[in-house]
Structure 1
Amino acid sequence: MSSSTSLSLSPSIEANQTLATLMRSMHRIAPLSLADSSWDNVGLLLEAPFPRSASSDKSGRASDIGKGVHLCIDLTTSVLSEVLQHPHISTILCYHPIIFRGLKTLTLSDPQQATLLRCAAEGISVYCPHTSLDAARGGINDWLAEGCKSSPSEAFSAAPAPCQKSKATSIPEGHEGAGMGRHFSLAEPVELITLVQRLKKHLGLEHVQVATPAGKESPMVQSIAVCAGSGGSVLAGDESDCWLTGEMSHHELLAATAAGRSVILTNHSNTERGYLSAVLKPRLEELAGGDLQVSVSEVDRDPLRVV
Structure 2
Amino acid sequence: MPLSCLKRIPRKLLRVRSLTDLRSRAVMDLKVLVSSLNDFASLSLAESWDNVGLLVEPSPPHVVNTLFLTNDLTEEVMEEALQKRADLILSYHPPIFKPLKRITWQTWKERLVIRALENRVSIYSPHTAYDAAPHGVNTWLAKGLGACTTVPLHSSAASNHPTKGCYRIEFSSCSAEAVLSRLRETPGISLVTTVPVRVDGEEQTRVSLNCSQHALLQVMTLLSQDSCLYEKTEIISLQKPPLGDTGMGRLCTLKEPVAVSALIERVKSHLRLPHVRLALGVGKTLESEVQAIALCAGSGMSVLQGTEADLYLTGEMSHHDVLDAVAKGVTVILCEHSNSERGFLLELQQLLATHLENKVRIIVSERDRDPLRVA
Q: Please state which band the TM-score falls in when normalised by the shorter chain.
A: 0.7 to 0.9
Q: Cα offset for 1:35?
A: 0.3
Match of 2:51 in 1: 41
**Hey, what's the Cα distance between the residues in 2 that align with 1:42 and 1:110?**
21
Q: 20, 25, 43: which one pairs with 1:32?
A: 43
Q: 270, 274, 287: which one pairs with 1:206?
A: 274
**Hey, what's the Cα distance between the residues in 1 that align with 2:244 and 2:160?**
10
**Hey, what's the Cα distance between the residues in 2 that align with 1:111 and 1:22?**
27
Is 2:36 the partner of 1:17?
no
SS of the residue corresponding to residue 302 of structure 1 reads: coil
One-letter amino acid of the counterpart of residue 189, structure 1: P
1:68-115 Cα shifts (integer Å, max 9, x gaps) = 00000111000011011122x200000001111111110011111011
Q: 1:164 to 1:21 in 2, by over 3 A?
A: same
Match of 1:281 in 2: 349
**Hey, what's the Cα distance between the residues in 2 that align with 1:261 and 1:204?**
24
SS of the residue corresponding to residue 88 of structure 2 reads: strand
Q: Cα offset for 1:193?
A: 0.8
SS of the residue corresponding to residue 313 of structure 2 reads: strand
One-letter amino acid of the counterpart of residue 99, structure 2: G
CA contact (8 A) 2:284 2:329 kept: no
- TM-score with structure 1 setting the length: 0.83
Q: Cα offset for 1:51?
A: 6.5
One-letter amino acid of the counterpart of residue 81, structure 1: E
Give the number of equivalent residue pairs: 270
Where does structure 1 lack aligned partners over 5 or more consecutive residues?
1-15, 54-65
**Hey, what's the Cα distance between the residues in 1 that align with 2:117 and 2:257?**
52
**Hey, what's the Cα distance between the residues in 2 that align with 1:262 and 1:217?**
9
CA contact (8 A) 2:277 2:333 kept: yes
CA contact (8 A) 1:92 1:125 kept: yes
CA contact (8 A) 1:18 1:292 kept: no
CA contact (8 A) 2:281 2:332 kept: no
Match of 1:70 in 2: 68
Q: 1:51 to 1:119 in 2, by over 3 A?
A: farther
- TM-score with structure 2 setting the length: 0.69
Higher normalized strand content (fraction of residues): 2
One-letter amino acid of the counterpart of residue 344, structure 2: Y
1:178-207 Cα shifts (integer Å, max 9, x gaps) = 110000200110001101101111111111
Q: 85, 98, 120: which one pairs with 2:95?
A: 98
Per mean C-alpha deviation after superposition, the further-off stretch among 75-84 and 23-32 is 23-32
Match of 1:13 in 2: none
Q: Cα offset for 1:17?
A: 2.7
**Hey, what's the Cα distance between the residues in 2 that align with 1:305 and 1:83?**
24
**Hey, what's the Cα distance between the residues in 1 that align with 2:279 and 2:160?**
38
Q: Cα offset for 1:305?
A: 1.0
SS of the residue corresponding to residue 80 of structure 2 reads: helix
**Hey, what's the Cα distance between the residues in 2 that align with 1:176 and 1:120?**
40
Q: CA RMSD in A?
A: 2.1
Where does structure 2 lack aligned partners over 5 or more consecutive residues?
1-26, 162-239
